[in-house]
Structure 1
C-alpha cells in the first residue's frame, strides 16, 4: 500500500500500520494506536482503511444502546446489508465484526475513539479479549483489529498489568507530535527564527497548520506579529479556544479549574512541586494527585535533574497551553472583544519572551542535542540530555545548566559529554563561556565532569567576535545558532 501523497512524513507509522494490516495468518490480530489529540491518528487510519478496503468506525460519547445502534448501522453499510444490524449487546457486535474478512485475506477493522465505547461499556475490552482467544477462532476470520484513542492514560492501561488485553496486541503504535525541524517543514517556514517563534506557540501538532488556522502561516519575521494577532489571538479562529478545549476533552480531568491553575503555575516558571504549591497557596502534598493525572494524560512531563537525583522539574508538554496561560489567560476579557488583540500582544512581549520562547528554546536545544547533533559535536554517543542545577558552595549559589549531555565514552561507561547554556535573545560572549568553565570546574571536582567535557553555547541572538575567535582556537567549545539547530549537526 503506497502512502497517500497528501500525507506529510509519518513514514514509520505508515510502514508499521501497513505491515500490521497485511500480516499473514488465519487468526484475528489486535493492534493499539494512541497519541495526543490532533496528531493525525484518524487521518492515518482512514487512509489505511481506504487503501485496504477496510472497515472504520468512529465512536462518539454516548450511551451503550446508542453506540451499538451506530456500530450496527456502520457495519451493515460496510457489509452491503440492506438493513442495519440490531445488536443487543457487544458480544454480538464483536462476533459479527470478527467475520468481516470472510471474503478472503486479511482485512483491517478500526475502532476510533475507543475510550468512548469502553466508558459506556466497561466490559468491552474483556469481550474483545474473548473474541481473540484461540478457542474462539471458529467464529473468526483474519481481521486486523485496530483500537485507537487519545485518552493516553486509558490507552496505556489497555495493555498493562492485569488488563484483559494484556499480551494480545501485535502492534502498539504511538503517533507523536512533529519535532521542531519537521514542524518547520510542515508549516513551510524557511526562516529559522520565525520557525522557532511559531513552534513556541503551536508546537508540532499537525492539525494546527490546516484545520485550526486554515493554512495561514507567518510569511517571515515581519509577518509573525500580525500572524499571532490574526490566527492565534483572534476570537473568531478555532485556535483561540483550543487550549481550553484540550483540558475539557480529557475524561480524567474532572476539576478543570484546579488543573488550569496547576498549568498556570508551571507556565509562570514554577517547575518544582514546592514552587507550584506556593503559587497556588496549597500544601505540596495536595498536588500529588493533580500532577500525576496531568502527567498521565500527557499534558505535562516530569524530568529528573541532570545532577541531583532527588530533584526534578515539571514542564508543560503542549506549547499552546503554555502560551495560553502565560499570554492569553491573564488578558482573556480583552481578547474576547474584537479589536483588542493588537494591544494585548504589544503588552505581552516581555512575558512572551521570558515565559514562552525562552523555556521553549531551551527545550529545543535539548532535543537538538539528543536527536540531531552528530556524535562528533559532543565527543561521544549521546544517551540522555537534561537540564540541571549545580551547587557552588564558595559563591553560595546554584548554577542552572540548560543542556547537560550524557553519553558513552570509549570504554562504554556513561560520562558527561557536554554542558551548555541557551539564550534566546542575548548575544553570547566571554562571560557566558567563563560561567560554563566555572560549572565544569565544580563538576570536575565532584568527579562528574572532566577536562574533556565540552562547553556549548546555544544562542538565538548570535555570538561576539571574541567568543567566535575563542571557539575557532579551542575545539572543546561549540557555538550553536538557529541555523545550525534547524539545518546542521
Structure 2
C-alpha cells in the first residue's frame, strides 16, 4: 500500500493500517479505528480499500432493516452482482464478509459503526461469535474487518472490560488530531504568532481547512478579520460546529447540562466545585456528566501532579473551547448579519484571557512531553507531564505551575525533571525565574522529590529580558523557549 500523495502526514497510521490490511497469515482478523470527528479516518480507510480492492461501507442513521439493505446493495456493487444481496440478519452479513477473504487478504470497513450498533445492539456479539478462534469459517478466511467510528464513548466500550469484542482485535488504531506543529504546516502559515493564534481557534482538525475552502489569515493584520468571517459569521460552517459535535455524540442526552458544563470550563471554572457553582448543581451531581464528557472526548481530566485528588478539567477540542467562551455568550447577537465584525473587538480581551492564554500553556506542556530533547531536560525518560500546585506556607499562598514534568515512577526516588511557566503576552524576567526556583525548593522539601537536576523552563511568545538571557546562558538548567523553539527546536 502506497500512501496517497494527497494525504497529509499520517505516515504512522498508514503504516500500521497497511500491515493489518496486507497481512497474509491465514485467519480473519479484526481491527478497530477510532478518533474524534473530522480527523480524516474515513479518508484513510477509503484510500486503503481503493488500493487493496477492499470493501468500504459507511453506515448512516437508519433502521436495522434499512442498514442491512444498504449493506447488501453495497456488497453487490463491490462484487459486480446483478442484484442486491438480501440479508435477514447481521449474522448472514458477517458470514458474507468472511467469504470475501477466501483467497487473499481483503479489508472490509464498516465505517460509522456506532450507527449500526444503535439499531442492532447484537452486532458486536455477532462479530465476536464469527471471529471465535476455533470457528472454521474464520480460520479459512483472510478478511481484515475494520470497525470505525467517531462516537468515542461507543468505540471505547467495544474492547473494554467484559465487552463481547474484548481480546478479539489485532489492530487498535487511534487517529489523533494534528499537533500544533503539523497544523501550522497543514494550514501553510509561516508567521509563528499567527499560526499559534489560528491553532487556538481551530486546533489541528484537518476538515476545518476544507470547511473554510482554504481560507486562512493572509497576515497577522488579517487575523481579526479572519476570525470574524470564518468563525463568528453565522453563515460560516464553523459557527455552529461545536453544537453539531455535541449533538452527534449519542451518549450526551442532556445537551443543556453538558453544554453548560463545557461553558463553565471554557470560562475558567476548571475544578468540579467551580463547575458545579457555575451550572447550579451540587458537586456530587457532576461526577457522571464529567465522566461522560471525558469518555466522549470533549473534556480531558488533568490531575495535579503535586497534590492528590485535585484534578482540573480542560476542553479537548480548541474550537469547542472557542465556541463556549466566545460564541455561546453572544450567540443571539452574532446570529444577526454583519454583527461579527463589530462584536469581535469587544470579545478579543476574553479571547486573550480565557482562550489564548490557557491554550498556550497546553502547547508548552506538549513541547516538553513530545519535542524537548533529553539533553534539554537532562533526562532520557519522562513519566508524567502536566500542571501542579504547591503551598507556600511562609508566603501564605498557593504557587500554580503551568508545567510539571516528573521522571518515571520506577521504585526509586522520583525526579522532578522540570518546572515551567508559560505566558503568551508577557515578557518573562528574573522575577519569574526566582518564582520557579522558590517552587522547586518547596517541592523538594514538601514532596520528597529529587530536585538536583530540575530544569526551570520559561516559555513566552513575547520574549525574555536581557538579564534572564544572561542567567540562562550561564546555567544549562534554565531553559528559555520562544515561539521559534516551540515550533522548530528541541
Question: What is the TM-score when the length of structure 2 is the normalising length?
Answer: 0.97
Structure 2 distance, partners of 1:2, 1:38, is 23
- Give the structure 1 partner of residue 457 of structure 2: 456
Aligned residues: 487
The question of 1:143 aligning with 2:143 is answered yes
Structure 1 distance, partners of 2:370, 2:215, is 29
* Range 91-100 or range 74-83, more displaced: 91-100
- Give the structure 1 partner of residue 379 of structure 2: 380
- Give the structure 2 partner of residue 291 of structure 1: 290
- Give the structure 1 partner of residue 229 of structure 2: 230
SS across alignment from 2:238: helix
SS across alignment from 2:135: helix
- Give the structure 2 partner of residue 279 of structure 1: 278
Work out whether residues 414 and 450 of structure 2, in 8 Å CA contact, stay in contact via their aligned partners in 1: no
Structure 2 distance, partners of 1:128, 1:436, is 55
Instruction: Report the alpha carbon displacement of residue 456 of structure 1 after superposing the two structures with TM.
Output: 1.5
- Give the structure 1 partner of residue 115 of structure 2: 116
Structure 2 distance, partners of 1:57, 1:409, is 45
Structure 2 distance, partners of 1:138, 1:285, is 50
* Range 153-162 or range 105-114, more displaced: 153-162
Please list every run of at least 4 consecutive aligned residues from structure 1 whose deviation after the TM superposition is greater than 4 angstroms.
408-413
* Range 246-255 or range 438-447, more displaced: 438-447
* Range 41-50 or range 278-287, more displaced: 278-287
Instruction: Report the alpha carbon displacement of residue 135 of structure 1 after superposing the two structures with TM.
Output: 4.2
* Range 385-394 or range 430-439, more displaced: 430-439
- Give the structure 1 partner of residue 261 of structure 2: 262
RMSD of Structure 2 on Structure 1 (CA): 1.6
Matches within 5 A, 1:259-408: 259-381=258-380, 382-407=382-407
Structure 2 distance, partners of 1:402, 1:185, is 26
Structure 2 distance, partners of 1:39, 1:65, is 30
Classify 1:430/1:138 alpha carbon distance in 2 versus 1 (closer, same or farther; 3 Å).
closer
Structure 2 distance, partners of 1:450, 1:13, is 38
Structure 1 distance, partners of 2:476, 2:224, is 39
- Give the structure 2 partner of residue 433 of structure 1: 433
* Range 143-152 or range 445-454, more displaced: 445-454
Structure 1 distance, partners of 2:411, 2:128, is 47
- Give the structure 2 partner of residue 483 of structure 1: 484
Cα deviation digits, residues 215-241 of structure 1 (max 9, x gap): 111222112111111111121121111
Structure 1 distance, partners of 2:437, 2:344, is 38
Work out whether residues 157 and 163 of structure 2, in 8 Å CA contact, stay in contact via their aligned partners in 1: yes
Instruction: Report the alpha carbon displacement of residue 280 of structure 1 after superposing the two structures with TM.
Output: 1.5
SS across alignment from 2:116: helix
* Range 23-32 or range 2-11, more displaced: 23-32
Structure 2 distance, partners of 1:411, 1:281, is 43
SS across alignment from 2:36: coil
Instruction: Report the alpha carbon displacement of residue 412 of structure 1 after superposing the two structures with TM.
Output: 6.8
- Give the structure 2 partner of residue 6 of structure 1: 6
Structure 2 distance, partners of 1:409, 1:88, is 54
Q: Unpaired segments of 5 or more residues in structure 2?
A: none
Question: What is the TM-score when the length of structure 1 is the normalising length?
Answer: 0.97
Classify 1:411/1:314 alpha carbon distance in 2 versus 1 (closer, same or farther; 3 Å).
closer
Instruction: Report the alpha carbon displacement of residue 408 of structure 1 after superposing the two structures with TM.
Output: 5.5
